[in-house]
Amino acid sequence: MYRITLECDGVPVTAGQQAAQDITEEFRTHYHHEKNVICWWDGKMLRLVSENDYDPKSLNLTDEFSDVIAAYIEPFDGDIRLVSIETIA
């Protein structure tokens, strides 16, 4: 199992808090292969943490995060970065 942390900058300050709530709900509702998902806004960027058992390089999660950001934040001109991948029991 992997715990993956991603962060995204370039989010408009006025959209950050609501986007974090919407993104968390979207993942919990529609991405059942991702577990223990939470997204939060720290005032500068969005941070997403998720656990899964199939994505050791975070390629799928990064793609999904990008899709959901595009659906909930407009305009958006930011970048997504991998913060960490932890192997968990």
Distances in Å between the Cα of 68 and the Cα atoms of 27, 76, 89 are 8, 12, 28
Element (H, E) at 13: helix 13-30
The answer to whether residues 27 and 37 touch, using CB atoms and an 8 Å cutoff, is: yes
Are the C-beta atoms of 45 and 31 separated by less than 8 Å? no
Asked whether 37 and 31 are in contact (CB, 8 A), the reply is yes
Domain boundaries, the chain: 2-87
Torsion of CA 45, 19, 40, 52, to 10 degrees: -110
Pick the CATH number of 2-87 from 3.30.70.100, 3.40.50.360, 3.10.50.40, 3.20.20.80: 3.30.70.100
Q: What is the pTM of this model?
A: 0.94
Is residue 33 within 8 Å of residue 52, measured between CB atoms? yes
Q: In this predicted model, what pLDDT tens digit does every residue of 27-84 receive, in sequence order?
A: 999 999 999 999 999 999 999 999 999 999 999 999 999 999 999 998 888 899 999 9
Tens of pLDDT along 1-36? Answer: 999 999 999 999 999 999 999 999 999 999 999 999
